[in-house]
Amino acid sequence: MEFSSKLLEKAVNEMAQLPGIGKRTALRLVLHLLKQPKDQTRFLTQALMAMREEIKLCKSCHNISDAEVCDICQNPKRNHHIICIVEDVRDVMAIENTNQFKGVYHVLGGKISPIDGVGPSQLTINSLVDKVKQGDVEELIFALSPTMEGDTTNFYIFKQIKDYPIKTSTIARGIAVGDELEYADEVTLGRSILNRVPFENSLKNT
Amino acid sequence: MEFSSKLLEKAVNEMAQLPGIGKRTALRLVLHLLKQPKDQTRFLTQALMAMREEIKLCKSCHNISDAEVCDICQNPKRNHHIICIVEDVRDVMAIENTNQFKGVYHVLGGKISPIDGVGPSQLTINSLVDKVKQGDVEELIFALSPTMEGDTTNFYIFKQIKDYPIKTSTIARGIAVGDELEYADEVTLGRSILNRVPFENSLKNT
């Protein structure tokens, strides 16, 4: 790409560093900002910079937070003895949206993935194991994505806490609500038969 | 979407103002910035702000430029009597990439489009007509996209300059190089037959 302006070129190149944003898309976005009032660019850049400089990770659950301890961990109405283990803040948001979980979270910050150079020490696993050792935990819910990395991470954590007298569970795998049975993959369908639930349960929360 | 942090929410909302970026994509981009060193966010925001504050439009062709007059308009090797009319800077970049055009450009800044509230006065048409009136122009090449709005804009400009002794042309429409004839739409194929060129010409620039 030949740019008529170094300023434009630099802005496009920086924008194209973002994942999934190619040079053409970056150019489209940057030209859009040029057509808008200067305030839009100012608000965008200030919001990004403020977020990057000031955001914290909750000391307890490692979720993204504005304060030292996040709202969920501060909430006395939540059950602090049931901990749901998730990969990142998006999973917390997804589960919170369901309004079905009244415990607290533990955000690992990723999954064990040797290919991506992520080992257990880069995740917040030690802090989770400490919570279990302190005896405050009744149940750990494993809610990582059902991928190879997710399963590896689950197993790595499970090995370290299996001797403590706590309940462990994983979120249920099965046919998504509204999905056609015939299009489900066989592993999912198989698990959903093995882990079938009493019929009365299926009437809850509907 | 329920955010655990106001700072995160604000950054996502500003990011989602960009065209084609939904809230989910915005969240993904913003979380990516959080995982990167602070410098990446700093460079991105500084580049965007510098561009928005300092970029100029060339006084002559209205293309995006770092200086009062852009590099192309300043270049003595270019033919300043042949002007190619384009919609925006991306078209200039596309034509420059071909290395086939040695004239200069006139960037309209859009197309006449009543639906989008864009009238002739918002475009740089007057400044183009002034150039023609001053007698410096030998040829005008219309290179807008072949859409309804493009054709309207072409015709609007043509009406105002048709009494001046200049050559006018449009870029050739036809079958794209490498395309299969049978898949071409009939209007394009029809035009490519009507505007056929001497066989020797097709051997150039290959």
The Cα A21–Cα A16 span in angstroms is 5
What is the per-residue pLDDT for A21? Answer: 95
Mean pLDDT confidence for A73-86: 95
Question: Comparing C-alpha atoms, which of B80, B84, B76 is closest to residue B100?
Answer: B84
Q: Is the dihedral of CA B192, B197, B198, B204 positive or negative?
A: negative
With beta carbons less than 8 A apart as the criterion, state whether A41 and B52 touch: yes
ipTM value, please give it: 0.82
First to last CA, chain B: 54
Question: Comparing C-alpha atoms, which of A115, A124, A129, A44 is closest to residue A89?
Answer: A124
CA dihedral B12, B28, A93, A64 (to 10 degrees): -70
Domain boundaries, chain A: 6-54, 78-171, 174-206
Sheet containing B167-170: give its strands across: B104-107, B82-86, B139-142, B167-170
Superfamily of domain A6-54: RecR Domain 1 (1.10.8.420)
Name every chain A residue with its beta carbon within 8 A of the beta carbon of B44. Answer: 14-15, 17-18, 45, 48
Task: Measure A54 CA to nearest chain B CA, in Å.
Answer: 8
Is 80 exceeded by the pLDDT of residue A8? Answer: yes
C-beta neighbour count of B164 within 10 angstroms: 13
What percentage of chain B exceeds 90 in pLDDT? Answer: 69
Q: Is B117 left (phi over 0), alpha (psi -120 to 50) or beta?
A: left
Question: Comparing C-alpha atoms, which of B2, B26, B7, B6 is closest to residue A96?
Answer: B2
Helix, strand or coil, per DSSP, at residue B19? coil
CATH number of A78-171: 3.40.1360.10
Q: Read off the tokens for B45.
A: 């925001």
Residue A64 φ then ψ, to 5°: -65, 135
What is the per-residue pLDDT for A204? Answer: 66
Q: Using alpha carbons, list the distances in angstroms from residue B164 to A1, A124, B97, B123.
A: 36, 75, 31, 21
Q: Of the given ranges (A24-38, A55-69, B184-198), which has the lowest mean pLDDT? A: B184-198
The Cα B127–Cα B139 span in angstroms is 16
Mutate to test the interface with A, among B4, B24, B61, B84 (most CBs of A within 10 A): B4
The average confidence (pLDDT) of chain B is 90
Contact B7 A50 (CB under 8 A): yes
Mutate to test the interface with A, among B45, B54, B59, B65 (most CBs of A within 10 A): B45
Give the orientation angle of helix A38-54 with respect to helix A23-35, to 10 degrees.
120
Q: How confident is the model at residue B31 (pLDDT cuts 50, 70, 90)?
A: very high
The Cα A149–Cα A141 span in angstroms is 17
- State which fold the B6-50 domain adopts: Helicase, Ruva Protein; domain 3 (1.10.8)
Contact A11 B40 (CB under 8 A): no
C-beta neighbour count of B143 within 10 angstroms: 21
Radius of gyration of chain B (CA): 22
What is the per-residue pLDDT for B166? Answer: 92
pLDDT in tens, A91-117: 999 899 888 899 999 999 999 999 989
More confident residue, B143 or B202: B143
Q: In this complex, which of A31, A33, A55 lies closest to B89 when CB atoms are compared?
A: A31
Q: Read off the tokens for A12.
A: 């496009």
Q: In this complex, which of A1, A17, A64 lies closest to B93 when CB atoms are compared?
A: A1
Alpha helices for chain B (secondary structure H): 6-15, 23-35, 38-54, 71-74, 89-98, 125-133, 148-161, 186-194
What is the per-residue pLDDT for A202? Answer: 67
Contact B51 A4 (CB under 8 A): no
* E strand intervals along chain A: 56-57, 64-65, 82-86, 104-107, 139-142, 167-170
What is the CA B164 to chain-centroid distance, rounded? 26
Task: Measure B165 CA to nearest chain A CA, in Å.
Answer: 31
Domain B64-165 annotated CATH 3.40.1360.10: yes
